[in-house]
Amino acid sequence: MLQLTCPWCGPRDETEFHHGGQAHVARPADPAALDDAAWAAYLFFRDNPAGPFAERWVHSLGCRRWFHAVRDTVTYAVLATYRPDAPRPGLAVARPDGETR
């Protein structure tokens, strides 16, 4: 079972959390100026990398706070968790093929 480390509560089983999608999605600076295509891009299109990916999670069966996690989408390993007001940690991930991302 996957374990996530809540920045406030510590390590817990995945069943205590809910996924909230991609982290660090910037809100439009001037929403009234967006056309339909720009709104669609903001609302529906997200990155889908093979490798480290910053996601939002909520500790719904614990402190009920939101936080960010960097999870490797290839290995499913959680590389870091951090508070939403903290910057994304710089991470280098070594792959079995020797490539570093």
Cβ of residue 5: shortest distance to Zn ion, in angstroms? 9
Spatial distance between the Cα atoms of 7 and 83, rounded to a whole number of angstroms = 6
State in angstroms the smallest separation of the CB of 25 from Zn ion: 22
Q: In the chain, what is the straight-line distance between the N-terminal and C-terminal CA atoms, in Å? A: 25
Q: How many whole angstroms separate alpha carbon 72 and alpha carbon 24?
A: 16
Q: Which of 59, 71 has the CB closer to Zn ion?
A: 59
Nearer Cβ to Zn ion (19/46): 19
Asked if residue 17 lies in contact with residue 64, where contact means CB atoms within 8 angstroms, the answer is no
Least distance in angstroms from the C-beta of 81 to Zn ion: 10
Closest CB to Zn ion among residues 18, 95: 18
